Amino acid sequence: MNPLIQTRPDGRRVVALRPGRRVLFLTKDPALVRAQLRGELDLMMREVQPADLLDDVNTDAMTPAWVCFNHRPEDIAREAYAGIRDAQGERVFLTDELRGGGFEAIVSGQRKGTGSSRETAPQAERWSGIRLAVAASFAPIHERNNLNLGQLMCGYELLERLQDGEEIPLEEFTARFDPVSRVILEAGGLFPFARLLRTGQIKVPPPQTPKRAMTMAEKIVASHLVKSGKGAAAKAGAGYVKPGDTCLVQVDGGYSHEFTTAQVHYFLAAEFGDDYTVQNPSKFAVFEDHLLYADGVPRMAPFAAKIQTLRDLQKEFQRHTGVRDYSAVNGISPGICHQVAREQFIDPGDFIQATDSHTCMGGGSNALTYGVGATEYAALIHAGYTFVEVPESIRFELTGALQPGATAKDVILHILATYAVREETLDRVMEFGGSGLASLSMDERATLTNMATECSAKTGICEGDERTARWLAERRKGIGAAQFAQRFVHPDPGAHYAGGVHTIDLSAIRPMVAEPGDPTYGKEIASLGEVKVDIAYGGSCTAGKEDDLDFYAEVLRDALAAGRKVARGTRMVIQFGSESVREYARGKGYLSIFEKAGVEVIEPGCGACIGCGPGVSERADQVTISAINRNFQGRSGPGRLYLGSPLTVAASAVAGRIVAYVPGMFRVPAAV
């Protein structure tokens, strides 16, 4: 039970700050944060302007990758907020500083918890004594992780009343949530709630929504409904749902990786005992992809023992459960989990959950897929179902076709800079359709859905078509395109989109980059100015697919024909998203092109995208142009990180500065 929730003699449940405990305000001025941490300053909400609070406090900043090498929450808490740095690059929060400050509430600005789905972020707060998170808005996965840990959340007005000494009825904190989420919070988190569900003390009946037109996400949820009963859940059959409905939903499959599996194993053993079991192990998997190259990164050397522990615990989990095993063999990974999953086992109409925010990449195959924290994944892999509040949707109607030099990466950067920055995508399913979708390949569609999480959306999903069915059939033995087409889920005519329906003319999209700090800082390259490049990285789940390799090769072949190669002083790295992508590139003759152009090519894995592989910057003055999905401070080394398309990355590597690619550009000296 959250200690801020108190029960009065008359049975009323109220929330009150405890005497002697403090409130920490994450201001944009690091000096004010440090003064609070040292105990020299205590602030009141009425003294702070919301504009002075840090926006977009991402989970990388709350618990950087190296902090996540710990799997026990109490160890993670020691380095809470280790990723927040001042202008000189120095840590604002030192070891044990949050835990030792006597704080029980923490305050920030808009979109708290953007970025990775890592549950370690709210764990670091909870195990430091924080039990109330205050912000203008929360990223959806982060909010769900807080809820699963029994952490209270609120806005500024409630905090001001609490600091005035008021006891506030609990329902004022929980009213904005659905009935089941309220019970989870009141019970103290997901595991206590699950115990109540298993023992029949509570039930979650299927929604009673009458027949209505539904979006793709709503139709998939409706087709996976289960009814709860003592000790188990039974299939309820297809029904109708609407946004805000609460229900139990059967999970078709999922996966974790060596960055997260250890916690899943740890939580399952703690909750259900060392002999715990999981449901349908053949539909779930473990991947060794995130930390494969960490041993070769000098700044990761101090954490080698912890990283090996994570690997060992994942192997122990796999042996214990019998889930699919995608471990590295002779140091080579089968590939990045999201890419391999879409190649091998995500089907149209599936409902997939995994411990990574880029799980939404599977939505390119007309499936409902999104990331969850370790607690939620542990609960669902044990039960076979999970709790869902039906999300709202926002639809993007694509028309026309992309011009040469523009890609799906530029489309999603446009959406980030236009819709996500206004929070129109926040916690909504981004649905992609329209005549223009047919002009995009399956890999390009996967790029759109992959970066839905950067939009702080719930997930992304594309309509299925002939191209979808053909792509899947080519990769699944014994299943024809017609069989996949039968599984397609389409939105109903008249379906309601709370976020509206927005038309994007693909022909109007121009090459873009996201400037350092956040993916929403988008700008057309034509207006960027002169930015010299030290590192160009092409890879990650977002940009290590077959089409992405086509893009890199197209530019580099063009450069070689003009007598050009990667510019002197610039390092270019290309990393495959999976073994099948590597073999595709080999079959196309791309490896020879890359070698001649002076590119460093490495085996599949996440690598530089999470700061654990070749392509990371080593100094703060270095500039990287990268095709990955996030450019938070420190994400891929200490340097300045720009995001761009695979075409932009390759062209910039040859030019030695950030440029948009134009076919034949290297044959015209004035253009470079």
Reported as a single tens digit per residue, the pLDDT across 466-508 is: 999 999 999 998 999 999 999 999 999 999 999 999 999 999 9
Average pLDDT over residues 534-538: 98
Structure tokens at 644: 């761009």
Q: What is the pLDDT of residue 96?
A: 98
Decide: helix, strand or coil at residue 48: coil
Element (H, E) at 571: strand 571-575
Q: What is the pLDDT of residues 45-57, one digit of tens each?
A: 999 999 999 999 9
Q: Which residues belong to CATH 3.30.499.10 in the chain?
A: 251-384, 512-671
Rg over CA atoms, the chain:
24
The structural architecture, per CATH, of the domain 251-384 is 2-Layer Sandwich (3.30)
Residue 566 DSSP code: S
Length of the chain: 672
Rounded CA-CA distance 271/193 in Å is 12
Measured CA to CA, the distance from residue 225 to residue 565 in angstroms comes to 55
Whether the CB-CB separation of 138 and 113 falls below 8 Å is answered with: yes
User: Tokens 């194993």 map to which residue?
Assistant: 265
Instruction: Give ∠ CA 314-257-599 in degrees, rounded to 5.
Output: 125
DSSP 40: S
CB 207 within 8 A of CB 246: yes
Cα(33)–Cα(40) distance, integer angstroms: 10
Where do you find CATH 3.40.1060.10 in the chain?
Answer: 395-508
The predicted-structure confidence for 450-467, as pLDDT tens digits, reads as follows 999 999 999 999 999 999
What is the Cα–Cα distance from 228 to 247, expressed in whole angstroms?
Answer: 9
> What was the pLDDT predicted at 236?
56
**Whole-angstrom Cα distance, residue 100 to residue 223?**
48
Question: Letter for the amino acid at 552?
Answer: Y
CA atoms within 13 A on the CB side of 4: 32
CA distance 223 to 240: 8
**Amino acid, res. 473:** A
Strands (E), 414-570: 428-433, 459-462, 501-505, 512-514, 522-524, 535-538
Q: 512-671, what's its fold?
A: Aconitase; domain 3 (3.30.499)
Q: What is the pTM of this model?
A: 0.90
pLDDT of 607 above 90 = no
pLDDT digits (tens, 9 = 90+) for 556-588: 999 999 999 999 999 999 999 999 999 999 999
Residue range 281-291: average pLDDT? 95
Decide if pLDDT at 668 tops 80: no
Q: Tell me, what's the pLDDT at 294?
A: 83
Return the closest-CA partner of residue 62 out of 1, 2, 117.
117
User: Which CATH code is given to the segment(s) 395-508?
Assistant: 3.40.1060.10
Domain 5-176 part of CATH 2.10.70: no
